[in-house]
């Protein structure tokens, strides 16, 4: 579709060819020697093809689009020679306006006075700084600030912490409540533990509610989030730390069911929760998704944990995929990977393995739940709004990225 066009005429003269040859040092006898040119079946000295390119440059730079143009590419076919005495009539026409690329595509044609087509081509031209010469408004630049700046504080940003009754989830729920977030925690079977966390948060002056949730059933994530919304109005942040009890086994002993179960809890429910939160995050142009990973996926993984490592690696893929798509909604998505943390989750791990892990860490200790909770607290703040798609180990320096 032609939106607009511009034209110029350029008289080709022997003097012009001489001047171009002097400027470019292209003194090929085809251009410079009439006898040589005619001996090669041309009727006269042949004008340098680049002379027509110079004329195209003038059209683009001064007329279409003119001031502010940034010429990005040129494709050109020379169809017939230009001789002294010819008049090159150049025409550029807008063929396409791409707002998102801030660019226009121009079709270029060149004819002589005898209406012989001598060249044909196309060019891409950036138009950041001009609309001159265009009959439509091109290149709607993205807004300077892609999403609204937050005006709410932490008290206006409820967070859902899955697996919030034990270990890292519990420490995170308490930490986030202290920072001012209303906190929804989920529990699977530990109602008493959930109550204890809620009571502790309320005693500290925070807001908390506990919800029964089976993280092996992603199809129930939407109704969980709906319940949280009924209590807190909206839900803008998620910390997915729920995990089944870990068992360690050589790969020969792993089962498809065991592998699927881990993948469902981490990746399947992780996705379902993100889907359930997406509408609120979009409406607020603000959101924080934090997934709890593991240092077992940093560097060489431990043995006898292949299913766990596979599922958490899958979760990292989810985190990166979500981050790419959620950024334009002002929503970040990250994975926090604690080092071996002495919690119920790893109660079955031999003491020797824990001691070794601690002794091999540059910081010479195992992780404690608060190490991870502190980072999650930071990630939920406005200061962390440019951190997304990141994999952040909290592991005392073991297996540095």
Partner 1 sequence: MNTLDRLLQVMSNVFDVPRERLSEASSADDVANWDSANVLHLTMAIESEFQITLTPDDMADMLSVKIILEILKNEGIE
Distance (Å, whole) CA 382 – CA 368: 25
- The stretch among 7-15, 270-278, 291-299, 358-366 that binds partner 1 (CB under 8 A) is 358-366
User: What's the N-to-C CA distance of the chain in angstroms?
Assistant: 51
Of 372 and 395, nearer to partner 1 (C-beta) is: 395
Q: Which of 255, 355, 365, 382 binds partner 1 (CB under 8 A)?
A: 355
Parallel/antiparallel/unpaired status of strands 237-240 and 287-292? parallel
Using CB under 8 A as the binding rule, whether residue 250 contacts partner 1 is answered as no
Structure tokens at 212: 């029964």
Q: What is the CA 58 to chain-centroid distance, rounded?
A: 38
DSSP 348: T
Parallel/antiparallel/unpaired status of strands 159-162 and 237-240? parallel
Binding-site string for partner 1 from residue 361 to residue 380, where x marks contact by CB under 8 A and - marks none: ---x----------------
CB of 361 to partner 1, least distance (A): 11
Of 180 and 302, nearer to partner 1 (C-beta) is: 302
Structure tokens at 317: 């893929």
CB of 298 to partner 1, least distance (A): 20
CB of 393 to partner 1, least distance (A): 21
Q: What angle do CA 28, 34, 36 make, to 5 degrees?
A: 60
Of 233 and 350, nearer to partner 1 (C-beta) is: 350
Distance (Å, whole) CA 359 – CA 340: 12
Of 280 and 357, nearer to partner 1 (C-beta) is: 357
CB of 150 to partner 1, least distance (A): 45
CB of 353 to partner 1, least distance (A): 9
CB of 302 to partner 1, least distance (A): 13
Of 222 and 356, nearer to partner 1 (C-beta) is: 356
Window 335 to 354, contacts with partner 1 (CB under 8 A) = 350-352
DSSP for 295-318, please give it: GGGSSSPPTT-HHHHHHHHHHHHH
Of 238 and 346, nearer to partner 1 (C-beta) is: 346
Per rule CB under 8 A, count of chain residues that contact partner 1: 8
Structure tokens at 94: 């807008």
Whether 31 and 21 have beta carbons less than 8 Å apart is answered as: yes
Measured CA distances, 257 to 121, 131, 264, 302 (Å): 60, 61, 10, 21
Q: What percentage of the chain's residues is helix, strand, coil (to nearest 5)?
A: 40, 20, 40
Of 40 and 360, nearer to partner 1 (C-beta) is: 360
Give contact residues for partner 1 (rule: CB under 8 A): 350-352, 355-356, 359-360, 364
């Amino acid at each position: 579709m032609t939106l607009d066009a511009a034209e110029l005429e350029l008289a080709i003269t022997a003097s012009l060819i001489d001047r171009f040859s002097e400027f470019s040092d292209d003194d090929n006898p085809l251009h410079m020697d009439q006898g040589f040119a005619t001996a090669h079946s041309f009727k006269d000295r042949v004008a340098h093809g680049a002379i027509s390119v110079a004329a195209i440059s003038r059209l683009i730079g001064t007329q279409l689009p003119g001031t502010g143009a940034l010429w990005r590419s040129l494709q050109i076919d020379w169809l017939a020679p230009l001789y002294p005495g010819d008049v090159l009539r150049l025409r550029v026409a807008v063929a396409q306006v791409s707002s998102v690329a801030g660019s226009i595509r121009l079709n270029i044609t060149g004819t002589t006075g005898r209406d012989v087509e001598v060249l044909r081509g196309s060019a891409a031209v950036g138009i950041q700084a001009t609309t001159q010469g265009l009959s439509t408004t091109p290149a709607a630049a993205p807004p300077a600030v892609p999403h609204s700046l937050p005006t709410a504080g932490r008290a206006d940003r409820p967070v859902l912490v899955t697996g919030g009754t034990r270990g890292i989830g519990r420490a995170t729920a308490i930490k986030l409540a202290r920072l001012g977030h209303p906190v929804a925690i989920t529990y699977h079977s530990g109602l008493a533990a959930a109550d204890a966390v809620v009571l502790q948060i309320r005693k500290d002056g925070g807001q908390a509610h506990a919800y029964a949730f089976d993280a092996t059933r992603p199809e129930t994530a939407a109704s969980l989030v709906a319940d949280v919304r009924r209590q807190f109005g909206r839900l803008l942040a998620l910390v997915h730390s729920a995990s089944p009890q870990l068992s360690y086994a050589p790969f020969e002993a792993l089962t498809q069911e065991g592998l699927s179960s881990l993948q469902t809890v981490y990746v399947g429910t992780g996705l379902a929760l993100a889907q359930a939160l997406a509408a609120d995050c979009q409406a607020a142009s603000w959101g924080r998704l934090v997934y709890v990973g593991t240092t077992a996926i940093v560097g060489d993984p431990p043995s006898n944990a292949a299913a766990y490592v596979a599922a958490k690696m899958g979760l990292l893929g989810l985190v990166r995929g979500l981050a790419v798509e959620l950024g334009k909604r002002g929503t970040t998505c990250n994975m926090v990977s604690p080092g071996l943390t002495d919690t119920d989750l790893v109660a079955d791990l031999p003491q020797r393995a824990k001691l070794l892990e601690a002794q091999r860490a540059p910081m010479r200790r195992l992780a404690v739940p608060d190490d991870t909770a502190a980072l999650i607290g930071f990630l939920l703040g406005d200061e962390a709004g440019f951190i997304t798609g990141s994999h952040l180990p909290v592991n005392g320096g073991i297996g540095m990225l």
